[in-house]
Amino acid sequence: MPRDIPVGNGSMLVTFDRKYQIRDIYYPYVGKENHTIGHPCRMGIWVEGQFSWLGDEWQTTLRYKEDTLVTDVKARNDRLKIELQIYDTVDFHLNIFVKEIVVRNLEGRDREVRLFFNHDFHICENEVGDTAYYDPDTRAIIHYKSQRYFLINCCDPNKCGIDHFATGIKEVHGAEGTWRDAEDGVLSGNPITQGSVDSALGINLQIQAYGENVAHYWIAAGTRYSEVVKLNKDIWEKTPEELIRRTENYWKLWVNKEMFNFYDLPRHLVSFFKRSLLIIRTQIDNNGAIIAANDFDIVQFGRDTYSYMWPRDGALVANALIKSGYMDATKRFFQFCADVISKDGYLLHKYNPDRSFASSWHPWLKDDKKSLPIQEDGIALVIWALWNHYDEFRDIEFVKPLYRNLIVNAAEFMVKFRDEETGLPLNSYDLWEERYGVHTFTVSAVIAGLRAAGEFARAFGEYKHSDKYHDTADKMKDALVAHFYHKGEGRFARMGKRTEKGYELDMTVDASLFGLTAFGVFSPEVPMIGSTMDAVKERLRIKTPVGGIARYTNDYYHQVSRDIERVPGNPWFICTLWLAEYEIMHAKNLAELNNTLPILEWVVDKSLLSGVLAEQVDPYTGAPLSVSPLTWSHAAFVTTLMKYMEKREKLILCPGCGNSAFYMHRHVQKPCSA
């Protein structure tokens, strides 16, 4: 089930599903540990002997407040005659998730309303040895295990502390949990339970006829009892309203810190650009890991998640942030890569946010020989993105300590990790993590990475290194044309397998062929690129009303249809936006440039109401498939919109001086004075 509204601060991440149930609580890293492992934490309402958990019975809209990571949730239940207005956030500074609930009485008489909250914790990602208890000193429920504590509390306008509580067992001996205990409007008051446990708490509100009242609820996360007690005291003293207000202000400042000239772009595209930046930030750990996605439901597909740092995904997301003017989060990402790179200069498949090596299906033994389980495009794109970071911010003091350990180390690896005869890279795994061989996307990335390393070496005055990296990249480019361009087909192959006679080519049309021009290896004007991208447009377009572009012909992942002619695969946001990027690069005038706007509109149209983008969508219904939000999807939108604005700047020329009539660069929004 998609995660419609994630909120977080880089250390604590809380996600909700479409039923407005909390499904994931990550702490102390974004992506590690998930203390609910996807189990729902419910919110319910009791009034006049009737009860309802928020879900299908409710008319619910899940949005964010504009330019913030504060939710704007509306829920109405006509049977109970109750309407809710709810705001959720994680404080930008403290590890406190806080919720404000405005309860409106739609009846013409005074009523008592009881709010109930259920917590299905699996602390440290398992339910063994948890404890839940009522703490009389704080009038709160506390869940803990080892060095993880979660204090849950409520307040109304007159008092702080809960009115009802219960702890109990779950998932053993047929016990469903204390959420069932709440459904009669009264909790048992059981003060402590250990093992596989859950809890429920409640608060009473008196609401006048057609009136409203307000309650607040929060979860404070810490590593010991004294820490969560201190956080509980902080929220009492600062008030929940202040935490929400200051966090709202912080994110408005964060997402509007750069002044871009958006020209006459439709307002909803600009708003979605900012929403994408904010959602990207929720998926980045403060210690540098850019996480692919934090939707735990994907565990049902292969008993694993996307809650890892892939170097390639991270580099492309970092590059989107760089183009948008965000320095600090990307600096932490590059430091992360410098910390985990091997002494031989390669990065492994993926990493946990604590810098440990993550789960992998890439073997160290291939055909009875040792084989590096790497995706070389990830190594190369980190260096490419780092050069873009330096080129944008000129932060030489940041780059200096990374030069030897990360840049030169990786560049030397890329130089050595080549076929001696052809000069092309050796076998590694493709960006889709499905095939082993030499891939056009990977070769393009390595060329870009070597060129970036060459620019760094030149900047540092190491001209022999610079010449070596550039020469290797040039020869690799020539070899790519010689071995991977199929003259009969008139386009590039997506991959090749080395044989004694050369390369056995795989001519499957793949959207990743955009990599040939995405990283500046080839100009989009080159006929070989034009014919290759024409094949992508023609053969991967989804020929249903949903539209979009598939990854490749007959894509099996979450496959919905076997009608390959009409549906070569599910439409992916990344792949569809790659087509827009290519069209932007290829545009000769404003009319051609504006022809790309319908693709951006398509992306917004296929997002969730909250603005969240999944990995892919159903080719017949447009419903989200796989994980959501996918960080890379949002980064692709940010990158594409930035490229649109950059290209528009180049196409609008001042008749007086011949230069760009407007400046898109951040902090400047003024016409040319010529």
Q: What is the DSSP letter of 219?
A: E
pLDDT for 657 equals 57
- Residue whose structure tokens are 């330096």: 390
User: How many CB atoms are closer than 10 A to CB 668?
Assistant: 11
pLDDT for 211 equals 98
Sign of CA dihedral 296, 301, 304, 309: negative
How far apart are alpha carbons 667 and 324 in whole angstroms?
12
Long-range pairs for 392-398 at CB < 8 Å and ≥24 separation?
A: 392/322, 392/323, 392/325, 393/322, 393/327, 395/327, 395/331, 398/331, 398/334
DSSP string, 556-618: -TT-----TTT-SS-EEHHHHHHHHHHHHHH--SHHHHHTTHHHHHHHHHTS-TTS---SEE-
How far apart are alpha carbons 428 and 502 in whole angstroms?
17
Long-range pairs for 230-233 at CB < 8 Å and ≥24 separation?
A: 231/94, 231/95, 231/96, 231/151, 232/138, 232/140, 232/151, 232/153
How far apart are alpha carbons 255 and 39 in whole angstroms?
31
Tell me the per-residue pLDDT of 284-299, one tens digit each, with 9 for 90 and over.
999 999 999 999 989 8
650 contacts: CB under 8 Å, gap ≥ 6:
660
87 contacts: CB under 8 Å, gap ≥ 6:
65, 70, 71, 72, 73, 99, 100, 244
pLDDT for 665 equals 47
CA 469 to chain centre: 33
How far apart are alpha carbons 445 and 456 in whole angstroms?
16
How far apart are alpha carbons 458 and 537 in whole angstroms?
39
Using H for helix, E for strand and C for coil, what is the string for 78-130? Answer: CCCCEEEEEEEEECCCCCEEEEEEEEEECCCCCEEEEEEEEECCCHHHCCCCE
User: How many CB atoms are closer than 10 A to CB 562?
Assistant: 7
How far apart are alpha carbons 495 and 475 in whole angstroms?
18
Tell me the per-residue pLDDT of 601-635, one tens digit each, with 9 for 90 and over.
999 999 999 999 999 999 999 999 999 999 999 99
Q: What is the DSSP letter of 526?
A: S
Residue stretches of the chain with pLDDT short of 50: 662-674
pLDDT for 668 equals 43
pLDDT for 255 equals 98
User: How many CB atoms are closer than 10 A to CB 375?
Assistant: 27
Residues forming a β-bridge with 156: 159
Helices 440-459 + 376-393 axis angle, to 10 = 40
User: What's the burial of 378, exposed, middle or buried (CB within 10 Å: 0-12/13-18/19+)?
Assistant: buried
User: Are the beta carbons of 391 and 459 closer than 8 angstroms?
Assistant: no
How far apart are alpha carbons 634 and 358 in whole angstroms?
23
CA 135 to chain centre: 36
Domain positions in the chain are 7-254
pLDDT for 653 equals 65
pLDDT for 374 equals 97
How far apart are alpha carbons 297 and 295 in whole angstroms?
6
Residues in the chain: 674
Q: Helices (H) and strands (E) in the chain — how many of each?
A: 17, 31
User: What's the burial of 311, exposed, middle or buried (CB within 10 Å: 0-12/13-18/19+)?
Assistant: buried
7-254 CATH choice from 2.70.98.10, 1.10.150.20, 2.60.120.460, 2.40.50.100: 2.70.98.10
- Token couple for 255: 């997402």
DSSP string, 376-445: HHHHHHHHHHHHHHHHHH--HHHHGGGIIIIIIHHHHHHHHSB-TTT--B--EE-TTS--EEEEHHHHHH
Q: Regarding beta strands 502-506 and 369-370, do their DSSP bridges make them parallel or antiparallel, or are they unpaired?
A: unpaired
User: Are the beta carbons of 528 and 444 closer than 8 angstroms?
Assistant: no
Q: Regarding beta strands 491-492 and 7-8, do their DSSP bridges make them parallel or antiparallel, or are they unpaired?
A: unpaired
User: Are the beta carbons of 349 and 414 closer than 8 angstroms?
Assistant: no
Tell me the per-residue pLDDT of 500-529, one tens digit each, with 9 for 90 and over.
999 999 999 999 999 999 999 999 999 999
How far apart are alpha carbons 653 and 649 in whole angstroms?
8
To the nearest whole percent, how much of the chain has pLDDT over 70?
96
pLDDT for 666 equals 47
User: How many CB atoms are closer than 10 A to CB 284?
Assistant: 28
